[in-house]
């Protein structure tokens, strides 16, 4: 088994389309943001959209294209229908793995609403519905991983046998509390063909409700480089946890025994919904074919983050996309997307 890195060639990216019954504040601005993100992805590779109502989703897109003058080819999007609770594709989406014989596998883990915090019974079936509706090529197999609970945002792979994750999420109550940490690590190694699991013992961002998904904290950019969220302001409520995480990252070693090259990404300036601080993070970037999409906050820090990620990905175009509306749902760009490796998605259906 081998869990690929996100920077490996992709066939396309999945979005799950918001509708009026999903748990979004200011849905109109969220839909505009989805179109903005879809347009940015489409510059690099195809898009697959799961929608409760395909006609409704297309109408949303066409309206926003007309109003916002967005450049999005709706005829190039593949739509599939599925009931859904919410739209966080990173966490309800299937996780792609190469089998020992080179086979193409999509692991369908249990999604339980981030530890039973939110309704998830419909989202938990989206990957199955994608297969039933022919979204994947015939040589791709869905593997039911129940009863193990795992969200895509909770893990990050270097593609070479090392996994980065957080203890606070994977070992939390209401996920896999019937397993010890050692048993969880062994399960991860066996399932993904891993040699090592790097556990972040500290780290968190105020406003996050995932129990500290790693994809807002620290991400592999290569087998020897990690970009991470750094707080420079000692008066910020995030300073203690993010500084402790930085210390942990400095102690990690590559498979060859060397310190990782660490790229600090500034913590965005505080953003609020009423009095609730939102969990903004530049580490929630998405790697696509030939590009990296960075969630922007309409701040001078956007360009700082972009330049630092450009140094980490010198052969890719690094683009900032304004994702502030997504923060109202306590997530961002990486959280609403799921990529699939080259040759996995069936892209001849429109």
- Domain ranges for the chain, please list them: 10-341
Residue 70 pLDDT? 76
pTM tops 0.75, yes or no? yes
pLDDT at 349: 47
Which CATH topology does 10-341 take?
Answer: 3.75.10
pLDDT of residue 209: 93
Please say if 221 is a catalytic residue: no
pLDDT recorded at residue 348: 62
213 vs 245: CA distance, rounded Å: 13
Active-site annotation holder among 297, 323, 335, 342: 335
Helices (H) and strands (E) counted in the chain, each on its own, are: 9, 18
Q: What is the DSSP string of 86-102?
A: ---HHHHS-EEEE-TTS
Mark the ranges of the chain whose per-residue pLDDT is less than 70.
348-350
pLDDT confidence of residue 350: 39
* Closest residue by Cα to residue 81 from 39, 126, 136, 22: 126
């Amino acid at each position: 088994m081998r869990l690929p890195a996100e920077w490996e060639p992709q066939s396309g990216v999945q979005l799950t389309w918001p509708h009026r019954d999903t748990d979004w504040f200011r849905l109109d601005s969220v839909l505009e943001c989805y179109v903005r993100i879809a347009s940015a992805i489409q510059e690099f590779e195809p898009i697959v959209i799961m929608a409760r109502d395909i006609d409704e989703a297309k109408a949303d897109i066409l309206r926003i294209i007309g109003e916002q003058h967005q450049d999005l080819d709706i005829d190039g999007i593949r739509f599939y229908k599925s009931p859904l609770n919410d739209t966080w594709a990173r966490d309800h989406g299937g996780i792609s793995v190469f089998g020992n014989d080179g086979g193409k596998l999509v692991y369908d883990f249990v999604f339980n609403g981030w530890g039973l915090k939110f309704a998830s019974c419909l989202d938990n079936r989206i990957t199955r519905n994608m297969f039933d509706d022919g979204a994947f090529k015939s040589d791709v197999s869905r593997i039911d991983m129940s009863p193990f609970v795992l969200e895509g945002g909770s893990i990050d792979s270097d593609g070479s046998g090392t996994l980065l994750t957080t203890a606070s999420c994977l070992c939390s109550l209401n996920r896999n509390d019937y397993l010890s940490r050692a048993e969880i690590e062994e399960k991860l190694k066996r399932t993904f063909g891993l040699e090592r699991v790097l556990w972040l013992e500290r780290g968190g961002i105020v406003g996050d409700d995932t129990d500290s998904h790693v994809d807002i904290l620290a991400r592999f950019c290569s087998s020897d480089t990690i970009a991470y969220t750094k707080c420079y302001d000692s008066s910020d409520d995030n300073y203690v946890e993010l500084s402790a995480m930085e210390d942990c990252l400095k102690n990690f070693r590559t498979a060859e025994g060397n310190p990782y090259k660490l790229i600090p990404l500034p913590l965005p300036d505080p953003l609020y919904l009423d009095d609730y601080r939102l969990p903004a993070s530049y580490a929630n970037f998405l790697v696509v074919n030939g590009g990296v999409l960075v969630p922007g906050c309409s701040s001078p820090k956007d360009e700082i983050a972009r330049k630092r990620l450009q140094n980490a990905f010198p052969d890719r175009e690094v683009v900032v996309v304004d994702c502030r509306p997504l923060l109202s749902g306590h997530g961002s760009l990486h959280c609403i997307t799921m990529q699939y490796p080259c040759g996995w998605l069936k892209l001849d259906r429109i």
